[in-house]
Amino acid sequence: MAQGWGLGALFNLDHYGHYIQWHVIQISVANLVVIILMVATFIAALFAPFPGRRNRKGSK
């Protein structure tokens, strides 16, 4: 579809999606990945050491 500019997708996501069903819950793999990444990012942001702010005492 997107030719000429060489801007076509490397991964074609236009096929029918995959879905996970668990009781009443039904979610597309794509959305699940996004949500898992969101939770993972939150946890990583909490625990990852923040650079350059250690041992800086002395008040303004």
44 near other proteins, judged by CB under 8 A: yes
**Least separation, in Å, of the C-beta of 53 and other proteins?**
4
d(CA 8, CA 12): 9
Q: Is 40 exposed, middle or buried (0-12, 13-18, 19+ CB in 10 A)?
A: exposed
Is position 22 an interface residue for other proteins (rule: CB under 8 A)? no
Length of the chain: 60
Residues of the shown chain interacting with other proteins in the complex, contacts defined by CB under 8 A: 1-5, 7-19, 24-31, 33-35, 37-38, 41-42, 44-48, 50, 53-54, 56-60
